[in-house]
Amino acid sequence: MTSLELFRAVQGSDIAVAFGNAPLFFGIAAQLFHISGIILILTPTLLVAMRIAGTGLVDYSPAQLERKSRIYVATGLFFVVFSGIFMLIPSATLYQPNPAFQLKFLLLPVALGIHYGFLAKIAKAEYADKWLAKLIALFMVLLWFAVGMAGRAIGFLAA
Protein backbone atom coordinates (compact mmCIF):
# COMPACT_ATOMS: atom_id res chain seq x y z
CA MET A 1 0.00 0.00 0.00
CA THR A 2 1.50 3.34 -1.04
CA SER A 3 1.27 6.38 1.21
CA LEU A 4 -1.17 7.99 -1.24
CA GLU A 5 -3.45 4.93 -1.05
CA LEU A 6 -3.22 5.05 2.74
CA PHE A 7 -4.10 8.76 2.83
CA ARG A 8 -6.94 8.12 0.36
CA ALA A 9 -8.30 5.36 2.61
CA VAL A 10 -8.03 7.61 5.66
CA GLN A 11 -9.82 10.44 3.85
CA GLY A 12 -12.61 8.08 2.81
CA SER A 13 -13.18 6.74 6.32
CA ASP A 14 -16.43 7.51 8.12
CA ILE A 15 -14.66 9.54 10.80
CA ALA A 16 -12.85 11.69 8.20
CA VAL A 17 -16.13 12.33 6.38
CA ALA A 18 -17.78 13.25 9.69
CA PHE A 19 -14.92 15.65 10.54
CA GLY A 20 -15.14 17.15 7.05
CA ASN A 21 -18.87 17.78 7.48
CA ALA A 22 -18.47 19.30 10.95
CA PRO A 23 -19.56 22.96 11.35
CA LEU A 24 -16.92 25.65 10.79
CA PHE A 25 -16.75 26.28 14.54
CA PHE A 26 -14.98 22.93 15.03
CA GLY A 27 -12.37 23.80 12.39
CA ILE A 28 -11.66 27.12 14.10
CA ALA A 29 -11.51 25.39 17.50
CA ALA A 30 -9.07 22.82 16.09
CA GLN A 31 -6.81 25.62 14.80
CA LEU A 32 -6.90 27.36 18.17
CA PHE A 33 -6.04 24.12 19.97
CA HIS A 34 -3.21 23.58 17.46
CA ILE A 35 -1.77 27.05 18.17
CA SER A 36 -2.21 26.56 21.94
CA GLY A 37 -0.43 23.22 21.65
CA ILE A 38 2.47 24.77 19.75
CA ILE A 39 2.86 27.44 22.44
CA LEU A 40 2.59 24.83 25.21
CA ILE A 41 5.46 22.91 23.59
CA LEU A 42 7.64 25.86 22.56
CA THR A 43 7.55 28.12 25.62
CA PRO A 44 8.53 25.51 28.27
CA THR A 45 11.14 24.07 25.89
CA LEU A 46 12.55 27.56 25.37
CA LEU A 47 12.69 28.13 29.13
CA VAL A 48 14.62 24.89 29.68
CA ALA A 49 16.97 25.64 26.77
CA MET A 50 17.53 29.18 28.03
CA ARG A 51 18.30 27.83 31.51
CA ILE A 52 20.78 25.32 30.08
CA ALA A 53 22.38 28.29 28.31
CA GLY A 54 22.64 30.04 31.70
CA THR A 55 19.85 32.60 31.28
CA GLY A 56 16.12 32.94 31.99
CA LEU A 57 14.74 31.45 35.20
CA VAL A 58 18.09 30.95 36.93
CA ASP A 59 16.49 30.43 40.38
CA TYR A 60 15.56 26.94 39.18
CA SER A 61 18.11 24.36 38.08
CA PRO A 62 17.82 23.14 34.48
CA ALA A 63 16.72 19.73 35.80
CA GLN A 64 13.96 21.29 37.95
CA LEU A 65 12.69 23.31 35.01
CA GLU A 66 12.83 20.29 32.72
CA ARG A 67 10.71 18.32 35.18
CA LYS A 68 8.21 21.18 35.48
CA SER A 69 8.05 21.51 31.68
CA ARG A 70 7.00 17.89 31.09
CA ILE A 71 3.31 18.30 31.86
CA TYR A 72 3.04 21.39 29.63
CA VAL A 73 4.87 19.78 26.71
CA ALA A 74 2.80 16.60 27.04
CA THR A 75 -0.42 18.65 27.11
CA GLY A 76 0.79 20.62 24.10
CA LEU A 77 1.54 17.42 22.18
CA PHE A 78 -1.91 16.09 23.04
CA PHE A 79 -3.52 19.29 21.69
CA VAL A 80 -1.33 19.34 18.58
CA VAL A 81 -1.87 15.67 17.69
CA PHE A 82 -5.63 15.60 18.12
CA SER A 83 -6.30 18.99 16.50
CA GLY A 84 -3.85 18.03 13.74
CA ILE A 85 -5.72 14.79 13.04
CA PHE A 86 -9.00 16.71 12.96
CA MET A 87 -7.56 19.09 10.35
CA LEU A 88 -5.64 16.47 8.37
CA ILE A 89 -7.89 13.52 7.73
CA PRO A 90 -10.80 15.20 5.88
CA SER A 91 -8.28 16.46 3.27
CA ALA A 92 -5.54 13.84 3.65
CA THR A 93 -4.87 13.49 -0.09
CA LEU A 94 -4.27 17.25 -0.35
CA TYR A 95 -1.69 17.09 2.44
CA GLN A 96 0.17 13.97 1.29
CA PRO A 97 1.96 15.49 -1.76
CA ASN A 98 2.58 18.85 -0.03
CA PRO A 99 6.38 19.27 0.44
CA ALA A 100 5.89 21.38 3.58
CA PHE A 101 3.75 18.62 5.12
CA GLN A 102 6.39 16.04 4.20
CA LEU A 103 9.13 18.22 5.71
CA LYS A 104 7.09 18.70 8.88
CA PHE A 105 6.73 14.95 9.27
CA LEU A 106 10.45 14.46 8.72
CA LEU A 107 11.35 17.09 11.33
CA LEU A 108 8.70 16.14 13.91
CA PRO A 109 10.11 12.70 14.86
CA VAL A 110 13.62 14.17 15.03
CA ALA A 111 12.43 16.97 17.34
CA LEU A 112 10.51 14.49 19.49
CA GLY A 113 13.48 12.10 19.56
CA ILE A 114 15.92 14.80 20.70
CA HIS A 115 13.40 16.25 23.16
CA TYR A 116 12.59 12.97 24.89
CA GLY A 117 15.98 11.34 24.26
CA PHE A 118 18.31 14.11 25.36
CA LEU A 119 16.62 17.02 27.17
CA ALA A 120 16.34 15.36 30.58
CA LYS A 121 19.94 14.09 30.31
CA ILE A 122 21.55 17.39 29.31
CA ALA A 123 19.51 19.30 31.92
CA LYS A 124 21.12 17.32 34.75
CA ALA A 125 23.74 19.20 36.75
CA GLU A 126 26.20 16.35 36.45
CA TYR A 127 26.11 16.46 32.65
CA ALA A 128 29.78 17.09 32.00
CA ASP A 129 30.01 18.81 28.64
CA LYS A 130 28.20 22.14 29.15
CA TRP A 131 28.90 23.37 25.62
CA LEU A 132 27.50 20.20 24.07
CA ALA A 133 24.41 20.62 26.29
CA LYS A 134 23.97 24.20 25.08
CA LEU A 135 24.38 23.14 21.45
CA ILE A 136 21.84 20.32 21.78
CA ALA A 137 19.38 22.66 23.54
CA LEU A 138 19.77 25.28 20.79
CA PHE A 139 19.40 22.65 18.07
CA MET A 140 16.27 21.30 19.72
CA VAL A 141 14.67 24.74 19.95
CA LEU A 142 15.53 25.45 16.30
CA LEU A 143 14.05 22.08 15.33
CA TRP A 144 10.77 22.82 17.12
CA PHE A 145 10.60 26.23 15.42
CA ALA A 146 11.33 24.55 12.08
CA VAL A 147 8.45 22.11 12.70
CA GLY A 148 6.21 25.13 13.35
CA MET A 149 7.41 26.99 10.25
CA ALA A 150 6.93 23.89 8.08
CA GLY A 151 3.43 23.52 9.50
CA ARG A 152 2.63 27.15 8.69
CA ALA A 153 4.02 26.69 5.15
CA ILE A 154 1.54 23.86 4.43
CA GLY A 155 -1.27 26.36 3.80
CA PHE A 156 0.82 28.47 1.48
CA LEU A 157 2.15 25.64 -0.65
CA ALA A 158 -1.28 24.04 -0.94
CA ALA A 159 -2.83 27.31 -2.12
Reported residue count of the chain is: 159
Binding to other proteins by residue 10, rule CB under 8 A?
Answer: no
- Which of 10, 35, 77, 112: binder of other proteins (CB under 8 A)? 35
Cα 145–Cα 100–Cα 75 angle in degrees, nearest 5:
45
Binding to other proteins by residue 43, rule CB under 8 A?
Answer: yes
Q: Which is nearer to other proteins, 90 or 148 (CB)?
A: 148
Q: Which amino acid is at 33?
A: F
DSSP category for residue 86: H
Binding to other proteins by residue 26, rule CB under 8 A?
Answer: no
- Which of 31, 71, 109, 116: binder of other proteins (CB under 8 A)? 31
Q: Which amino acid is at 157?
A: L
Stretch that binds other proteins, among 82-90, 107-115, 116-124, 141-149 (CB under 8 A): 141-149
